[in-house]
Amino acid sequence: MGQTLGIVSRFPDHFAHFDVGYYEVKDVSGVWHDPVPGTIPMVSVFGDNRQAKRHPEWVQVGPNQERATRDAKFFDWDALCPSRPDVFSLGVEWVKDALAKSGQKTIRLDDVTYAREGFCQCPACLEESARRGLTADAYRSERLAEFVAAVREVAERVEMTLFPDPLPGHLERRFGIDLSRLAPYVDRFVVPIYDLHYATTYWLEVLAQGFSELLPRPFFIELYSLKVPEDAVVHAAEVASAYAEGVLLAYENQLPKLLRIRERLGSE
Ligand SMILES: [Zn+2]
């Protein structure tokens, strides 16, 4: 495999062995972990259970007043609304903090998204879309692009995680992510395609190929590897690397396993 091989890890001593390392500075629970120097900080921006608890009015609202919290059917975490000026500026502050404390110039944005179709219909969104004379969908795309543009002002390079749905129009319709609008501000997209086994890889290939045709920028595919059989990770990485510029292995806690995978991918 000639491409980049990186990791997403909570273990600082693992990073030196790979081309690139990502460290979650803030995850969806809202807990902050100070950056590890030399790694790219990842910040979950609009996914934040802690802020949602503190500021219930910041939570995204969908059809039938459904709130985007983890108690609701479709959600695993709470989603804050990007229309709220406080949420928007807090997001930029988190990015600034992560960059300052890591000494990095690259930020990776996680959860810069609306929760799903029909979100958000909170008072801030209704008011602002009406003021701009935009449909709800057009407004969502514009607002997310504004946020990424604001991040680009404080970071030299921006990487952005995408939900793994490459079907035409889906990212925009489901999440308010308009790739052509984001392209000027994003240097690399990262697509997590997770499985606990990777027992078959045809679906991984379908998604990888879809993104290779869809994305206006080089992208990495991130594979889950904690407790996933080593042979399966190697095979999945080989498939992913046929389409992506690099492969990231996420959350493995066994360094010897990671090193063996690295050797196998390097020699094949
Ligand atoms: Zn809203």
Task: For residue 86, report the distance from its CA to the centre of ligand 1, in Å.
Answer: 12
Position 248: which residue type? L
Would you kindly state where each structural domain of the chain is located, as residue ranges? 4-267
Quick: pLDDT tens for 122-181: 999 999 999 999 999 999 999 999 999 999 999 999 999 999 999 999 999 999 999 999
The string of DSSP codes covering 102-158 is HT-SEEEEE--S-SSTT---SHHHHHHHHHHT--HHHHHHHHHHHHHHHHHHH-SEE
pLDDT at 3: 84
Render pLDDT for 40-89 as a digit per residue (tens, 0 to 9): 999 999 999 999 999 999 999 999 999 999 988 889 999 999 999 999 99
Q: What is the pLDDT of residues 92-109, one digit of tens each?
A: 999 999 999 999 999 999
Instruction: Give me ligand 1 centre to Cα 127, in Å.
Output: 9
Separation CA 259–CA 161 (nearest Å): 25
Q: What local confidence, expressed as pLDDT, does residue 167 receive?
A: 97
**CA 48 – ligand 1 centroid, Å:** 15
Predicted local distance difference test score (pLDDT) of residue 85 = 97
CA of 129 to the centre of ligand 1 (A): 10
Distance 190 CA to ligand 1 centre (A): 25
pLDDT at 2: 67
Give the closest residue to 160 by CA, choosing from 42, 243, 75, 23.
42
Distance in Å, CA 119 to ligand 1 centroid: 7
If phi > 0 it is left, if psi is from -120 to 50 it is alpha, else beta; for residue 22 that is beta
Give yes or no for residue 268 having a pLDDT over 80.
no
Per-residue pLDDT reduced to its tens digit, 206-246: 999 999 999 988 899 999 999 999 999 999 999 999 999 99
Q: Is the pLDDT of residue 1 over 70?
A: no
Cα atoms found within 13 Å of the Cα of residue 67, Cβ hemisphere only: 14
Residues 180-193 as b/e (b if ≥16 CB within 10 A, e otherwise) read ebbeebbebbbbbb
User: How far is the centre of ligand 1, averaged over its atoms, from the C-alpha of 64 (Å)?
Assistant: 14
Give the Å distance between the CA of 57 and the centre of ligand 1: 9
Determine the CATH number of domain 4-267.
Answer: 3.20.20.80
For residues 98 and 155, the answer to whether their CB atoms sit within 8 Å is: no
State the pLDDT at residue 72.
83
Q: How far is the CA of 118 from the centre of ligand 1 (A)?
A: 10
In the predicted model, what is the mean pLDDT of residues 249-255? 97
Integer Cα distance of 128 and 240 in angstroms: 40
- For residue 142, the CA-to-ligand 1 centroid distance in Å is 13
Say which residue the tokens 């793994």 belong to.
164
**pLDDT at res. 258:** 98
Cα of 223 vs centre of ligand 1, distance in Å, is 31
* CA–CA distance, 21 with 38 (Å, rounded to integer): 8
Per-residue pLDDT reduced to its tens digit, 27-38: 999 999 999 999
pLDDT number for residue 74: 86
